[in-house]
């Protein structure tokens, strides 16, 4: 399966007791899709999947699939990574039964696993998926394990069909392109950010899963749309603006940054799941600065992209 466009590694929102805030989580998923994002990637790092039990994650799967069903042509991808195979298989089976387009999993990381152990892990997910595509997820900053090209080849041999790469490894992306084009191996590279999108687009990468979609879905979808057209100057200007904005809003971890940026757009954002905390009152000045920066970026998008729109 080949996915195209922009996907959001969707945030999950909670009440003060750690229960899923289904109303706000649903609103947010609808909001990003209404603003041009092409799909939902749920319960990964941004989605607080590692802080939820398996049944909470399944509940997020249910919510997300209901929402993509009301947005024809959008994708639903479930992150099923866990530190034990049984939980990942359980999550994969639920996503499969819900009709998900694909599942993705970061590799287990509690121990220093050998390559053959990781190949076995993904082979078990492919078996549980029973025809639903399975994506590997390269996140070395989390796992301390770098997925190199030789390991990619082994994943492809057991039926893994793509890899989301948060490390944005250009050489790996190019090697995967060559593997597909010269050897006919059906395996795709998916960028894990808006950063370096001009390069990845130039080598035929079709999709990104970008955290900025959580708070500026309108800008990321506009940038992607321009990347498909002929106005290279406008595309590069907006790409620089979006990447600057991602850096400007960064404070603490990515979830805090996203919550603050959403707050800056005027939304009454609820809680993170403990132990994560976002002390909004401590960031009042930062929220105001983010609001100004996002407004300026949106004004630029409106000048560069005739199809730009923002749904409040």
Structure confidence at residue 147 (pLDDT)? 94
122 phi, psi to nearest 5 deg: -70, -30
Tokens at 88, concatenated: 């990942």
Phi, psi of 163 (to 5 degrees): -140, 125
Q: What is the pLDDT of residue 252?
A: 85
Q: Which runs of consecutive H residues, i.e. helices, occur in 250-283?
A: 254-264
User: Which domains are assigned to the chain?
Assistant: 5-219 (3.20.20.70)
Give this prediction's pTM: 0.97
Closest-CA residue to 20 (of 47, 50, 48, 56):
56
Q: Identify which of 209, 220, 165, 166 has the alpha carbon closest to the alpha carbon of residue 187.
A: 165
Beta pairing, strands 75-79 & 5-10: unpaired
Per the listing, tokens 């687009």 go with 201
What is the model's pLDDT at position 1? 63
Return d(Cα 225, Cα 230) in angstroms, integer: 10
Which helix (DSSP H) or strand (DSSP E) does residue 140 occupy? helix 140-143
Could you list the pLDDT tens digit for every one of the 312 residues in the chain? 689 999 999 999 999 999 999 999 999 999 999 999 999 999 999 999 999 999 999 999 999 999 999 999 999 999 999 999 999 999 999 999 999 999 999 999 889 999 999 999 999 999 999 999 999 999 998 888 999 999 999 999 999 999 999 999 999 999 999 999 999 999 999 999 999 999 999 999 999 999 999 999 999 999 999 999 999 999 999 999 999 999 999 998 999 999 999 999 999 999 999 999 999 999 999 999 999 999 999 999 999 999 999 999
End-to-end CA distance of the chain: 33
pLDDT tens digits along 93-131: 999 999 999 999 999 988 999 999 999 999 999 999 999
Quote the crossing angle between the two packed helices 217-227 and 284-304, to the nearest 10°. Answer: 30
d(CA 220, CA 238): 9
Residues 6+ away with beta carbon under 8 Å from 124: 85, 88, 89
Query: Which pLDDT tens digit goes with each residue over 128-182?
Result: 999 999 999 999 988 889 999 999 999 999 999 999 999 999 999 999 999 999 9
């Amino acid at each position: 399966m080949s996915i195209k466009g922009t996907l959001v590694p969707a945030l999950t929102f909670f009440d003060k007791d750690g229960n899923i805030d289904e109303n706000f989580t649903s609103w947010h998923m609808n909001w990003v899709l209404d603003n041009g994002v092409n799909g939902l990637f749920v319960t990964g790092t941004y989605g607080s999947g590692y802080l939820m039990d398996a049944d909470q994650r399944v509940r997020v799967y249910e919510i997300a699939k209901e929402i993509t069903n009301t947005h024809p042509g959008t994708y639903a991808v479930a992150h099923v990574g866990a530190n034990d195979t049984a939980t990942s298989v359980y999550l994969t089976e639920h996503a499969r039964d819900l009709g998900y387009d694909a599942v993705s999993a970061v590799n287990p990381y509690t121990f220093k696993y050998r390559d053959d152990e990781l190949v076995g892990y993904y082979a078990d997910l492919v078996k549980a998926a029973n025809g639903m595509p399975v994506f590997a997820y390269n996140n070395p900053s989390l796992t301390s394990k770098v997925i190199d090209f030789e390991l990619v080849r082994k994943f492809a041999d057991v039926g893994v069909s793509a890899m989301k790469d948060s490390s944005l490894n250009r050489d790996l992306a190019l090697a995967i392109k060559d593997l597909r084009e010269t050897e006919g191996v059906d395996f795709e590279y998916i960028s894990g950010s808006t950063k370096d999108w001009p390069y990845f687009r130039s080598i035929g990468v079709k999709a990104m899963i970008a955290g900025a979609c959580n708070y500026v879905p309108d800008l990321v979808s506009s940038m992607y749309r321009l990347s498909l057209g002929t106005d290279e100057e406008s595309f590069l200007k907006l790409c620089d603006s979006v990447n600057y904005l991602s850096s400007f809003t960064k404070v603490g971890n990515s979830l805090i940054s996203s919550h603050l940026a959403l707050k800056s757009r005027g939304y009454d954002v609820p809680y993170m799941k403990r132990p994560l905390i976002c002390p909004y009152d401590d960031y009042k000045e930062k929220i105001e600065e983010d609001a100004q920066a996002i407004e300026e970026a949106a004004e630029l998008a409106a000048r560069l992209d005739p199809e730009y729109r923002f749904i409040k």
